[in-house]
């Protein structure tokens, strides 16, 4: 977290902690027909309660919010997180350790539902979910993402290193090689991904730490375009003290994403989609 983000983080933390969790889980207005899906790691179990509170406090409620955790954490849930469970929010336990679990289990359990994924170290602004869903109504067949990168290629045709993929600044646009970045929030319509998305042995071999890359390949093979949101709004607010364990340290700074994308690109011969 940058120092300039600290005041906003502390202010939003205070506001969210002051909300009645029982009221958040028993909202009477009609919910959006979406499943919000996320995962977390042991070091963030206390902090993720703030993420969940921000999801429960959206201007328009989700039908369901599911936090997927590894089985070994079943007895380690802090009271601040456990107390949020109710009609809307639930915790589910699975046997995977990798970040892909934020989506693949939801795809299996809710195959006909719209699924929205998010990260566990951020607090999402109240209009976040409603704006994503508004774009879904306009483009029901597209994957909608608030943040994207554009996959680019060398003159010889090989993919450029991940660090050279520019962050997309345009809005309300799509491109076959646009890739969603998970932290901003990503909306997946039913049937958006290739059936191989559930091939655990493959994604653990090819992209063990890069779920965004895996899901991009699956959308490319399915023929589903990624679309940058028409109104991304302000970025989500980081939770103080959670950034130390970010995958970004391994994937971006150490070129982990480049290595994993090249392995994925070669395995599926993704060059044929250019």
Residue 190's pLDDT is what? 99
Q: Three-class SS string for the chain?
A: CCHHHHHHHHHHHHHHHCCCHHHHCCCCCCCEEEEEEEECCHHHCCCHHHHHHHHHCCCCCEEEEEEEEEHHHCCCCCHHHHCCCCCCEEEEEECCCCCCHHHHHHHHHCCCCEEEECCCCEECCCCHHHHHHHHHHHCCCCEEECCEEECCECCCCCECCHHHCCECCCCCEEECCEEECHHHCEEECCCCCCHHHHCHHHHHHHCCCCHHHHHHHHHHHHCCCEEECCCCCCCCEECCCCHHHCCHHHHCCCCHHHHHHHHHHHHCCHHHHC
Backbone φ and ψ for 224, nearest 5 degrees, come out as: -100, 125
Q: What's the number of domains the chain is made of?
A: 1
Residue 245's pLDDT is what? 58
Question: What's the CATH code of the domain at 76?
Answer: 3.90.550.10
pLDDT digit of tens for each residue in the chain (274 aa)?
Answer: 677 888 899 999 999 999 998 888 888 788 999 999 999 999 999 999 999 999 999 999 999 999 999 999 999 999 999 999 999 999 999 999 999 999 999 999 999 999 999 999 999 999 999 999 999 999 999 999 999 999 999 999 999 999 999 999 999 999 999 999 999 999 999 999 999 999 999 999 999 999 999 999 999 999 999 999 999 999 999 999 886 655 554 555 547 999 999 999 999 999 999 9
Show the domain range for 204. 3-273
- Tracing tokens 């589903």 back to the chain, one arrives at 224
Residue 173's pLDDT is what? 97
Residue 23's pLDDT is what? 87
Residues 196 and 169: their CA atoms lie apart, in Å, by 31
Residue 175's pLDDT is what? 94
0.85 cut: is pTM over it? Answer: yes
């Amino acid at each position: 977290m940058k120092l300039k983000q600290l005041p906003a983080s502390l202010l939003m933390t205070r506001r969210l902690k002051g909300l009645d969790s029982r009221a958040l889980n028993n909202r009477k207005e009609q919910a959006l027909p979406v499943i919000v899906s996320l995962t977390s790691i042991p070091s963030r179990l206390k902090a993720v309660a703030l993420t969940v509170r921000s999801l429960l406090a959206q201007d328009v409620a989700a039908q369901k919010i599911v936090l997927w955790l590894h089985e070994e954490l079943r007895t380690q849930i802090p009271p601040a997180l456990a107390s949020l469970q109710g009609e809307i929010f639930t915790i589910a336990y699975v046997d995977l350790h990798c970040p892909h679990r934020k989506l693949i289990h939801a795809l299996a359990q809710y195959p006909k539902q719209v699924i929205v994924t998010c990260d566990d170290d951020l607090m999402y602004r109240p209009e976040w979910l409603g704006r994503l869903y508004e774009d879904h109504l306009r483009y029901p067949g597209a994957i909608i993402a608030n943040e994207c990168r554009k996959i680019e290629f060398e003159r010889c045709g090989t993919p450029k290193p991940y660090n050279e993929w520019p962050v997309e600044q345009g809005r309300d646009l799509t491109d076959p090689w646009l890739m969603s970045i998970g932290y901003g929030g990503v909306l997946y319509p039913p049937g958006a991904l290739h059936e191989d998305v559930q091939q655990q042995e493959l994604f653990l071999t090819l992209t063990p730490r890069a779920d965004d890359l895996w899901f991009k390949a699956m959308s490319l093979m399915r023929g589903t375009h990624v679309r940058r949101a028409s109104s991304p709004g302000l970025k989500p607010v980081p939770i103080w003290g959670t950034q130390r364990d970010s995958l970004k340290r391994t994937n971006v700074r150490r070129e982990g994403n480049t290595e994993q994308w090249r392995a994925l690109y070669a395995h599926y011969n993704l060059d044929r989609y250019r």
